[in-house]
Amino acid sequence: MKDYYEILGIGRNATPEEIKKAFYKLAHKHHPDKGGDAEKFKEINEAYQILSNKEKRAQYDQFGRVFEGPGADFREGFAGGFDWSGFNWQGGDFQSPFGFSAGGIDLNDILADFFRGAAGMDSRKTRYQKTSANKKGNNIEVSLEINLEEAAFGIRKDVSFKTYLSCEHCQGKGYEPGSKLKECANCKGTGTIRQSRRTFLGEITQIIECPKCKGKGKIPEKPCKKCGGDGRYYGNKEIKVDIPAGIRDGETIRIRHEGEAGYLGGLSGDLYIRIIIKPHERFERQGDDLYISLGISFTEATLGSKKEIQLLDKKDVLFKIPAGTESGEIFRLRGKGIKHFNAPGQGDLYVKVRIKTPKKVSTKVKKLLEDLEEELK
């Protein structure tokens, strides 16, 4: 059984932000594009998909796995209304209110299997499991680094990443063009097989997906030589992404059906692009407002002055410094910030004035300053 917390290197009380931070760090380290292990990257992504989802995490914390499909909420779906609230897991063993434990038996698996299809069981406790044929591909999240100008005005970017791609050779079918499908001998064309297990609850018969034909009931005479019969293969994918003007650091763009290709022609997952904005050499962004520090001389601060400030669009704006300005004062230039995302208007530009003091002065300048000091007194 996989320990998703150990995979991400976090504690079981980790907050959603800590989970996300750990995922981004490990995904960056193990990403196949950076020479990382593709299987390790997939395992990290799987752990994040579970622990970042509140309901899935709760199921995993309690049962060590996640229940999916019809009847997943077994407490509501169990026919007969038995109250299982008295049962709990302590130290890995199942404890009952009657004082017995299951010892080394993996009751997590047994009860999970039992409850997962409890609402649909017949008198012989037969459980039906959804097949993975035409299974939808996983969602993928990648990070894209852009500069402040690109975030402010929008841009089209090329994004490249490793994932499962639909096989063009077999059109996602999993078999060679021109070849035929034949009945699976393992399941006799049904796509499912029966498995029985004895538990303390009695004998449970499961009807599960046939491992040989993956639930399709048929197998190809000649599997696809490119994808090996999966209808997809692992490779590099490149797409163009339109970054909207005004996007902020940490925001995510969702592109439908551009994620991992589905199994045997199944629907592709979605692609999530997380935006990372690089620090700017002159401007600091806060929301849609921009902040800049402007150095002026003592004379300019005392007498007043005019300065040109180059904005992100390379245009200059004239900034008037009033006489008597003190170091540290902040002035606002309305509408000179970042365009609001999906809304009219722009943020503001805030200019913080900093009076520059010379390190060395000539004898003449020193005398003038001394005379000025006397005059000001």
> Which position has the higher pLDDT, 110 or 286?
286
How far is residue 360's CA from residue 373's CA, in Å, rounded to a whole number?
A: 18
Tokens 């230039």, located at residue = 333
Sheet holding 140-146, edge to edge: 140-146, 271-277, 252-255
Closest CA to 269 of 145, 195, 163, 125: 163
Domain range summary for the chain, segments of one domain joined by +: 284-376
pLDDT classification of 108: cutoffs 50, 70, 90:
very low
Q: What is the DSSP string of 195-230?
A: EEEEETTEEEEEEEE-TTTTTSSEEESSB-TTTTTS
Note the pLDDT of residue 361: 82
For the cut 80, the answer to whether the pLDDT of residue 200 exceeds it is: no
Closest CA to 4 of 77, 56, 72, 73: 56
Note the pLDDT of residue 265: 86
pLDDT digits (tens, 9 = 90+) for 244-280: 999 999 999 999 999 999 988 889 999 999 999 999 9
- Span of 141-150, 179-188, 285-294 with lowest mean pLDDT: 179-188
pLDDT classification of 94: cutoffs 50, 70, 90:
very low
pLDDT classification of 201: cutoffs 50, 70, 90:
low
Q: What number of helices (H) and strands (E) belong to the chain?
A: 9, 18
pLDDT digits (tens, 9 = 90+) for 8-31: 999 989 999 999 989 988 888 887
Note the pLDDT of residue 271: 96
Note the pLDDT of residue 66: 67
How far is residue 142's CA from residue 31's CA, in Å, rounded to a whole number?
A: 9
Signed CA dihedral, 201, 203, 204, 210: sign only: positive
- Span of 34-38, 105-109, 159-163, 182-186 with lowest mean pLDDT: 105-109
pLDDT digits (tens, 9 = 90+) for 205-218: 888 888 888 788 88
The H or E element that residue 50 is part of is helix 38-51
Note the pLDDT of residue 37: 83
pLDDT classification of 1: cutoffs 50, 70, 90:
low
For the cut 70, the answer to whether the pLDDT of residue 69 exceeds it is: no
Q: What is the mean pLDDT of residues 230-242?
A: 94
Strand-pair partners of 157: 241
Q: Which fold has domain 284-376?
A: HSP40/DNAj peptide-binding domain (2.60.260)
pLDDT digits (tens, 9 = 90+) for 300-334: 998 999 999 999 999 999 999 999 999 999 999 99
Q: How many CA atoms lie within 13 A of 304 on its CB side?
A: 3
Q: Which pTM does this prediction carry?
A: 0.57
How far is residue 157's CA from residue 25's CA, in Å, rounded to a whole number?
A: 23
DSSP, collapsed to helix, strand or coil, labels residue 314 as coil
pLDDT digits (tens, 9 = 90+) for 111-125: 444 444 443 343 333
Note the pLDDT of residue 67: 57
At 333, list the tokens. Answer: 């230039």
Closest CA to 231 of 180, 163, 175: 175
How far is residue 53's CA from residue 49's CA, in Å, rounded to a whole number?
A: 7
How far is residue 54's CA from residue 58's CA, in Å, rounded to a whole number?
A: 6
pLDDT classification of 151: cutoffs 50, 70, 90:
very high
